[in-house]
Structure 1
Amino acid sequence: MAATPVSKVCLLPDGCEAFAVRVASARAALHSIDVQYYIWHSDATGRYLAHELLQAADRGVRVRVLLDDMDARSRDSVLVALNRHPKIQIRLFNPFATRAGILRTLRELFSRWSRLNHRMHNKSWIMDEELAIVGGRNIGDEYFSVSEEVNFVDMDVLLSGAAVGETLHSFETYWRFSSSVPVSRLHRVGQSKYTLNELRTALLAESTRFAMETPYMQRMLKAPKFSQLLSDASRWYESDTVRIVTDDPRKAIRHAPTIDPGVLESMIESLDAADTEILLISPYFVPGAGGTAALRELSRRGVDVTVLTNSLAATDVAAVHSGYSRYRASLLEGGVCLYELKALAPSEHVQRMRLGSSRASLHTKAAIIDRRLVFVGSFNIDPRSAQLNCEMGAWIDSEKLACQMADLFKDAVRPENSYTVSLDERGRTRWSELVGGVEVFHDRDPHANGWRRAVTWLLGLLPIESQL
């Protein structure tokens, strides 16, 4: 009988370590690096990682980069210059024809909205077909705890073994899809304001300055070495049931004749099979009428359902909060427990995730079911992830990993870190927190200013839920 393929999984909850692992894997690569992202910012960490990919290509490593075009257009010159390297290929998913100009972009959005409204939200980083990173992080300072304004509390998993092949298969499917267009087909090479050598020099100078002048890089140097992480048995969990789930890229084509089941269907199936407990983490949580009814039914069946999402003060998308708030009372009435992350959560774990900034915002997308099955990926429980964007993630069957995730969840929902949401005796929503060891109640979204509350209320009046 053939041996069951085994995968190994390592959680990456710390932003600094998640950045360090990407840097180290790029430096260790011998044959190939394949990366797929929704957002790649041109900030300190984004340009540092671009420099690492360029250095890998200079060593002869084949580098393929697939980016969603919603965020990529402002970096056309950099992408075109990188694409000139004989070992680097860059493709853009569902690209705009318009590359610059607000009025022209708006005109294209209005004329091609049904196509451009579907984006590739997938996130993966694959080295030598041996290691893969899958999770919620894009590439940018706020995802790696560098930002001085707000940093995301996020989660990735580092994978080895059989799951890497599945991740690569997902990448290849998108890479070959008709909506993934080589950047060279969108721009004439002469349009870039950089030559490849000019870009190489600029990236080297910026990376050197970032490494020498920022406390962040000094902290990264203190993180466990890549080789130590790979050999540290206490960080890794073995499982013969790791499944990479990916949406059919045809989901991005309106009125596609057939679309294979994807992340949404896997989530519904897994939640419905729960026996005792569901812990959900979704920064953008808009369950809709159907999702609310399903969670209430699970609670009625005796399953403990607990959800962690952003508070209004912590969220970076007020429109999504307006969609969530209309279902809050119904969820609470149905027995679902709700927690909302504070923007100023003081716990050591959350502090570690946001490092130099004064604010935190939840960005982790995860589920822990029956302390056995874990999901980590890009999928939010909202209409956009369910119906519009392409998503991916990893389902991992491991009691030990589930317990570690549950411990992180338990820490995040402590009253020092999150607001407990409940209904008072008159059925009105209220929030409670601990301040100096004393329980304090709020009768409206706590620590959100009046302008943010007003905007959220106004957005809640608009028929935009399908877009959230």
Structure 2
Amino acid sequence: MRSFAALPAPLLRLLLPLLIALLAGCATPLPIIERDKIASEAIPASPTTTLSKIVANSTPGPDAHSGFRLLPLGSFSFDTRLQLARRAEVSLDVQYYHFEGDETGRALLRALRDAALRGVRVRLLLDDFYTGGHDDLFLALAAHPNVQLRLFNPFCCARGSGSTTRFLASFGDWGRVNHRMHNKLFVADGIAAVIGGRNIANEYYLRGESDNFVDLDAFVVGKMIEPLAALFDRYWNSDAVYPYEAVARASMDAPALRAYFDDITGLQKMRPLAPLPPNDILGYGPIGDDLEDGRLGLIWGEGYVFADHPDKPFDGSVGGELLETSVTYNVIEAMKQAKSEVVISSPYFIPGAAGMEFIRELRKRGVKLSVMTNSLGATDEPLVHLGYSRYRPEMLRLGVELYELSSQRVKRNKRLFHFGESLGRLHAKLAVVDKRVSFIGSMNFDPRSATINTELGAVIDSPALARELQRVIDLDRLQSAYRVRFKADGSGLEWLGTDEEGDMVLNEEPDSSLWLRFKLWLLSPLVPEELL
């Protein structure tokens, strides 16, 4: 999912007088925080914790850099977070863009609360975009000892409403609240972490009734953990972050909040988690089994992590110059080293003028470029697909291989473990360079990730890990996507797929209605790229 993009200018002109009348006086200033008094830092890993002993037992030698386990299966990915929360003995540092108050969110909140009751220090940092209507739930967690809860770039008012209403209620402050923290990070005991694309909500773990996301995370140990913890601290103590209780007010006192938390996260209010399958498509079992055995099966390699500076979004503008400290800049620099091939997976792919120049430079050097993104029928942001489609013909002329995920083909992909009747949407943000270097993180390949939102990611040098990541992407491309190409007579585009009955060719955007295509055609001249 994306954060709110500014409304199209023609619609704003129609709504502006009404909004001014309705919302005048709504916006209130954020509180002044004495930040020195609330600053804290990550607790260094202790060799005496159970997780530290398991990691030490799993490390091949003193020169080993970092160990990784890809988590392409949603149920394994969520269980990994639960296992870390249940086994933590010292600290849990957790940072997410979207932390929903649904069954998945409440289950993880319960695990965090239980850890806090064991004496574990829990620091939970949330972007404020999706917290609307959930203040009591999150403040109920914060009412427990050993729990600290903070918000990035909070909304001032209309806190009981959804994100769009709160955005509109921030009239006069839109330039600030349009910038969001898109990072995803989970660190346990300063020794193990989960990074990647998944937020905390049903649809990221195959538990959504209508939509589910095709995504990927990575479990990480080793030398990469200390810089990840430092990145968390940089956000936690930044000027854009506020204690939750300084921004929101609960509707009940602390004892009532704790009782409410017990009730809302109790088993009687929760749909039980489905049993875990024995293994995923890469042959791995659940990480909990490895933790129980005291030894982790990992792939080892060298790499580095990076996150945008928490002040970056307030300094940037869509389409502006990339900062050298940005995640997008670092990923592009890694891809510039390609000698033969770059493979990209991104739910939103809008290269822009600078991106197209980069693509031309790659192709001029003979570097093969393959991109997988959502089809119009699979995307949750049709206007963003409109931005991508403007560049589609030129990319094809340059020889770029384009694949678009089909929600219907995802349903038939048995390796994804039963999407059922739900729509499948791509959400994984990945890249593989020369079958050796991998990128895994939260960054989309679009202007918003480049210059407006903050992101987090890792570049990893490991041929073995790159092979596994390539395998996951290939299975999605071959079994869940259509390849886009020009028609033989050059009159337009067509979409090629293969199933048990052979090749199939479509002459229209897959899984999309005539009405949706017509609406986008109408909106096309009204939606400039800088608003996507």
TM-score normalised per structure 1: 0.92
Where in structure 2 are the equivalents of 1:304-323 lying within 5 Å?
304-323=368-387
- 1:39 is paired with a residue whose SS is coil
Q: Distance in 1 between matches of 2:421 and 2:261?
A: 30
CA displacement at 1:443 relative to structure 2: 2.2
Map of 2:467 onto structure 1: 403
Map of 1:293 onto structure 2: 357
Q: Does the 8 A contact of 2:184 with 2:456 survive in 1?
A: yes
Q: Which amino acid aligns with 1:204?
A: G
Map of 2:247 onto structure 1: 186
Map of 2:274 onto structure 1: 217
* Equivalent residue in structure 1 for 2:303, among 233, 242, 251: 242
* Equivalent residue in structure 2 for 1:143, among 191, 194, 204: 204
- 2:67 is paired with a residue whose SS is strand
Q: Which amino acid aligns with 1:405?
A: L
* Equivalent residue in structure 2 for 1:152, among 208, 213, 220: 213
CA displacement at 1:91 relative to structure 2: 0.3
Map of 1:348 onto structure 2: 414
Map of 2:234 onto structure 1: 173
CA displacement at 1:264 relative to structure 2: 1.1
Map of 1:204 onto structure 2: 266
CA displacement at 1:322 relative to structure 2: 0.6
Q: Does the 8 A contact of 1:152 with 1:361 survive in 2?
A: yes
Deviation track 1:171-216 (CA, whole Å, cap 9, x = no partner) reads: 1000000111001111345557952122123312346x423xxxx4
CA displacement at 1:134 relative to structure 2: 0.4
> In the alignment, does 2:254 pair up with 1:195?
no
CA displacement at 1:115 relative to structure 2: 0.6
Distance 1:226 1:115, change over 3 A: same
Q: Does the 8 A contact of 1:306 with 1:338 survive in 2?
A: yes
- 2:224 is paired with a residue whose SS is helix
Distance 1:59 1:356, change over 3 A: farther
- 1:33 is paired with a residue whose SS is strand
Same amino acid, percent of matched pairs: 36
Where in structure 2 are the equivalents of 1:49-448 lying within 5 Å?
49-98=108-157, 99-100=159-160, 105-189=166-250, 194-206=256-268, 209-211=270-272, 216-219=273-276, 224=286, 226-228=288-290, 235-239=297-301, 241-254=302-315, 261-345=325-409, 346-349=412-415, 351-352=416-417, 355-414=419-478, 416-424=479-487, 425-448=489-512
CA displacement at 1:335 relative to structure 2: 0.8
TM-score normalised per structure 2: 0.81
Q: Distance in 2 between matches of 1:12 and 1:429?
A: 34
Deviation track 1:212-254 (CA, whole Å, cap 9, x = no partner) reads: xxxx422369963514168698841111x22111101111324
- RMSD over aligned Cα, in angstroms? 2.4
Q: Does the 8 A contact of 1:92 with 1:181 survive in 2?
A: yes
CA displacement at 1:435 relative to structure 2: 4.9
CA displacement at 1:140 relative to structure 2: 0.6
Q: Distance in 1 between matches of 2:114 and 2:421?
A: 30
Q: Which amino acid aligns with 1:348?
A: K
- 1:253 is paired with a residue whose SS is helix
Structure 1, 21-30 or 448-457: larger mean CA deviation: 448-457
Q: Which amino acid aligns with 1:130?
A: I
Distance 1:89 1:357, change over 3 A: farther
Q: Does the 8 A contact of 2:494 with 2:508 survive in 1?
A: yes
Q: Distance in 2 between matches of 1:293 and 1:181?
A: 40
Q: Distance in 2 between matches of 1:170 and 1:403?
A: 28
CA displacement at 1:456 relative to structure 2: 2.6
> Unaligned stretches of 5+ in structure 2?
1-60, 280-284
Q: Which amino acid aligns with 1:116?
A: V
Deviation track 1:355-374 (CA, whole Å, cap 9, x = no partner) reads: 44432110000000000000
- Number of matched residues? 457
Q: Does the 8 A contact of 2:152 with 2:181 survive in 1?
A: yes
Structure 1, 226-235 or 84-93: larger mean CA deviation: 226-235
Deviation track 1:149-169 (CA, whole Å, cap 9, x = no partner) reads: 121110101000111111111
Q: Does the 8 A contact of 1:37 with 1:66 survive in 2?
A: yes
Distance 1:338 1:260, change over 3 A: closer
CA displacement at 1:441 relative to structure 2: 1.9
> Unaligned stretches of 5+ in structure 1?
none
Q: Distance in 2 between matches of 1:29 and 1:374?
A: 29
Distance 1:332 1:237, change over 3 A: same
Q: Distance in 1 between matches of 2:203 and 2:231?
A: 26
Deviation track 1:38-62 (CA, whole Å, cap 9, x = no partner) reads: 0011111111111111111111111
Q: Does the 8 A contact of 1:248 with 1:259 survive in 2?
A: no
Q: Distance in 2 between matches of 1:157 and 1:163?
A: 12
Structure 1, 296-305 or 133-142: larger mean CA deviation: 296-305
Map of 2:45 onto structure 1: none
Q: Distance in 1 between matches of 2:276 and 2:198?
A: 20
Q: Does the 8 A contact of 2:133 with 2:161 survive in 1?
A: no
* Equivalent residue in structure 1 for 2:101, among 42, 48, 52: 42
CA displacement at 1:7 relative to structure 2: 0.7
- 2:227 is paired with a residue whose SS is helix
Q: Does the 8 A contact of 1:247 with 1:260 survive in 2?
A: no
Q: Distance in 1 between matches of 2:510 and 2:84?
A: 42
- 2:132 is paired with a residue whose SS is helix
